[in-house]
C-alpha cells in the first residue's frame, strides 16, 4: 500500500495548477494550493500515508458527515421529517429546490440540509460545540483537535447565502432556532481542522460496521449501529459529492464526502478508509487531485463499496 500511495502521489502532483483554491470564504484563499496528502487506515488498525498527510486542513463540508451521524444518533429516524435522502443534482449551496420542496432540503450533505441538521443538534445539545469536538477528538484519537477561529469568523462574515436559506426554511417551519445562532455553530463545525491520518481514523466506524478503533488499534466502541453505518454509506455514495455524485460513483464507486477545504474521505466497507487532501478545486467545489487520487486507488486495488 505504501508503494501504491507513493505512485499515486507522483501522478497526482503532476496535476497541480488545474484547479483553484476556494476563495468565497476569504480565509481559505490563503492556503498554499500545491499540497497533496493521502492516508489509508485499515480496519485492523494499520495505517499508511504519504505527502502532506499530517498537515491540518479545514474540514468544511466533510463536517456534514459527522454532524449528520450525531443527529441520527440523537433523534434517529425523526431526522427524515426534516430533511430528504435524495441526490440534489444541484450545487452544494443551491437554493432553487428549497422553495418548490417547501423548505425540506434534498439531503443532509448539501448546505441547506446540513443547516437543518445543525438546527436539530442546536436544539438537542446544551453545549453543542463540546459535544461535537468531544466526539471528533475521540473518533480521530486527537485530543487537541479544534476549529480554526479565523476560518470560522471569515465564513460567518460572508455567510449571506446560508443565512438566506436558514431564514427561508424558518418561514416554512423547518428551522426551530434563531438562524444567527445556528449559523454560528455551523461555521465553527465547518472550520474544524484535521489532517488526513486523523480523518481516515475518524471515519473508521463507517468501514467497520459502526465500530471505532482505539489508540492501540484494538476494536473499541460501537459508535453507530451497523445498520445505520450501512445506510450512511449509501447516502455518501449517492449524495456525498453534490452535483458530481454520479460522476464520483462512476469513477470511484465508494461512499465519499468532499469539502471545499480540498479534503475527501472515502469508505471501503470491511477494508478501511481513505482520506486525501489537495486544496485546488474543480468547478463543482471538489478537490481535483483528490478525486484523481481516489480513482487511481480503486483502479489499483479494485476496492468496491461491498464488504469483502
Q: Applying CB under 6 A, does 61 fall inside the site for ligand DON? A: yes
Q: Is 259 in the site for ligand DON (CB under 6 A)?
A: yes
Set 186, 232, 256, 257: catalytic member: 186
Question: Should residue 174 be labelled a site residue for ligand DON when binding is judged by CB under 6 A?
Answer: no
Contact between 262 and 57 (Cβ < 8 Å): yes
Cβ distance to ligand DON smaller for residue 43 or 107: 107
DSSP H or E run through 184: helix 179-190
Measured CA to CA, the distance from residue 7 to residue 296 in angstroms comes to: 9
Contact between 220 and ligand DON per CB under 6 A: no
- Considering only residues 73 to 102 of the shown chain, the ones binding ligand DON according to CB under 6 A are 92-93
Nearer to ligand DON, 114 or 200 (CB): 114
- Cell match 454560528: residue? 184
Q: Which stretch binds ligand DON (CB under 6 A): 40-48, 200-208, 258-266, 267-275?
A: 258-266
Residue 218 Cβ vs ligand DON, minimum distance, rounded to whole Å: 33
Contact 272, 42 (CB under 8 A): yes
Query: In whole angstroms, what is the distance from residue 291 CA to residue 183 CA?
Result: 29
Considering only residues 142, 260, 266, 271, which one is a binding residue for ligand DON as defined by CB under 6 A?
260
Nearer to ligand DON by Cβ, of 92 and 292: the residue is: 92
Q: Site mask, ligand DON, residues 150-169, x = CB under 6 A?
A: -----x------x-------
CB of 242 to ligand DON, least distance (A): 6
Q: Is 139 within 8 Å of 202 (Cβ atoms)?
A: yes
Any contact of residue 245 with ligand DON (CB under 6 A)? Answer: no
Contact 71, 225 (CB under 8 A): no
**258 in contact with ligand DON (CB under 6 A):** yes
CA-to-CA dists, residue 117 to 45, 70, 76, 279, angstroms = 31, 9, 12, 26
Q: Which of 274, 271, 272 is nearest to 308 (CA)?
A: 271
Among residues 69, 242, 267, 298, which one is catalytic? 242
SS3 34: coil
Contact assessment for residue 277 and residue 263, using Cβ atoms and an 8 Å cutoff: yes
The residue number whose beta carbon is nearest to ligand DON equals 61
- The Cα 132–Cα 189 span in angstroms is 8
Other Cβ atoms closer than 10 A to 101: 15
| Whole-number CA gyration radius for the chain | 18
Which residues in the 3-42 window bind ligand DON by CB under 6 A?
none
- Is 167 considered catalytic here? no
Q: Count other C-beta atoms under 10 Å from residue 198's C-beta.
A: 23
| Only segment of 11-19, 30-38, 129-137, 254-262 that touches ligand DON (CB under 6 A) | 254-262
CB of 13 to ligand DON, least distance (A): 22
Binding site for ligand DON (CB under 6 A): 60-61, 92-93, 111, 155, 162, 190, 258-260, 285-286
- Residue positions annotated with a catalytic role: 61, 64, 186, 242, 260
Amino acid at each position: 500500500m505504501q508503494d501504491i500511495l507513493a505512485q499515486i502521489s507522483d501522478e497526482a502532483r503532476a496535476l497541480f495548477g488545474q484547479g483553484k483554491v476556494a476563495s468565497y470564504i476569504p480565509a481559505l484563499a490563503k492556503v498554499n494550493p500545491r499540497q497533496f496528502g493521502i492516508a489509508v487506515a485499515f480496519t485492523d488498525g494499520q495505517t499508511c500515508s504519504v505527502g502532506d498527510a499530517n498537515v491540518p486542513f479545514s474540514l468544511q463540508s466533510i463536517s456534514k458527515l459527522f454532524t449528520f451521524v450525531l443527529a441520527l444518533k440523537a433523534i434517529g429516524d425523526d431526522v427524515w421529517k426534516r430533511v430528504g435522502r435524495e441526490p440534489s443534482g444541484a450545487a452544494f449551496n443551491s437554493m432553487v429546490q428549497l422553495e418548490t420542496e417547501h423548505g425540506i432540503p434534498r439531503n443532509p450533505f448539501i448546505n441547506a440540509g446540513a443547516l437543518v441538521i445543525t438546527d436539530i443538534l442546536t436544539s438537542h445539545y446544551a453545549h453543542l460545540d463540546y459535544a461535537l469536538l468531544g466526539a471528533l477528538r475521540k473518533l480521530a484519537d486527537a485530543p487537541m483537535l479544534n476549529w480554526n477561529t479565523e476560518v470560522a469568523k471569515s465564513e460567518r462574515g460572508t455567510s449571506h447565502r446560508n443565512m438566506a436559506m436558514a431564514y427561508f426554511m424558518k418561514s416554512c417551519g423547518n428551522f426551530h432556532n434563531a438562524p444567527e445562532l445556528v449559523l454560528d455553530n455551523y461555521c465553527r463545525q465547518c472550520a474544524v481542522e484535521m489532517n488526513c491520518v486523523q480523518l481516515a481514523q475518524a471515519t473508521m466506524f463507517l468501514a467497520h460496521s459502526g465500530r471505532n478503533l482505539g489508540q492501540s488499534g484494538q476494536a473499541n466502541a460501537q459508535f453507530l449501529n451497523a445498520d445505520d453505518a450501512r445506510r450512511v454509506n449509501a447516502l455518501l455514495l449517492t449524495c456525498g459529492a453534490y452535483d458530481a455524485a454520479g460522476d464520483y460513483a462512476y469513477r470511484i464507486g465508494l461512499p465519499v464526502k468532499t469539502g471545499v477545504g480540498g479534503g475527501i474521505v472515502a469508505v471501503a466497507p470491511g477494508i478501511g478508509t481513505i482520506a486525501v487532501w489537495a486544496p485546488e478545486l474543480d468547478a463543482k467545489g471538489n478537490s481535483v487531485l483528490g478525486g484523481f487520487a481516489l480513482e487511481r486507488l480503486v483502479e489499483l486495488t479494485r476496492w468496491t463499496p461491498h464488504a469483502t
